[in-house]
Amino acid sequence: MKKIITLLTLTILSLSVQAFDQEKFKTDTGYYNLYRGKAKAIVILLTPFNTSNSVKEAFDLYSQGDPTKWRNLVGRLNEARQKGQEIGAFNYMSSCLNATIQADLMWNYAATMTTNGLDEWNDPNAFNLKMYNQAKRNFELEFSDCKSVSRTPPNKEDY
């Protein structure tokens, strides 16, 4: 009798897990269909942040009196930030929001290093440079995930 009850319990649990996974797949597919355009836009907008020196170069040019690249990057960041907020967190596309958050952190640390007069860009031990580099590493991971989820719908076999 105990074996039958145990078998029945395991069967019910298995069916519950499968139902949950199916529901999560449907939810993730819905998020993908709803937000893939915004995710693709975020990838395009944040691409300059994925290059090695674009943020530093923009701030260097700005401090030399040429704000063109700085304005372009801050405009792209603001637009990506807005689209990331529309996507939101805790869903299939959340890496796109996370990428915008990390790009924003990079921007803030770059601004601090440029305006504080300490030449932290060239000091490998500088706190703000270390924080900038950490934000850049996190950005690269989230940006890569964002590119992936913006191109590929959820795969049913993964659930």
Q: How far is CA 112 from CA 99, 105, 148, in A?
A: 20, 11, 32
Provide the pLDDT for residue 119: 84
Q: 115: left (phi > 0), else alpha (psi -120 to 50), else beta?
A: alpha
State the pLDDT at residue 14.
54
Whole-model pTM over 0.85:
no
- Cβ neighbours of residue 133 under 8 Å, at least 6 residues apart? none
CB atoms within 10 A of CB 99: 29
DSSP code at position 121: G
Exposed e or buried b per residue across 17-35, where buried means at least 16 C-beta atoms within 10 angstroms of its C-beta: eeeeeeeebeebbebbeeb
pLDDT score of 115: 87
- 10 burial type by CB count under 10 A (0-12 exposed, 13-18 middle, 19+ buried): exposed
Q: Which two tokens stand for residue 4?
A: 């039958």
Blockwise average pLDDT, block size 10, the chain, 159 residues: 59 54 90 96 97 93 95 98 92 95 97 88 94 98 97 90
Q: Are the CB atoms for 74 and 108 separated by under 8 Å?
A: no
Identify the pLDDT of residue 52: 84
DSSP tag of 125: T
pLDDT of residue 37: 96
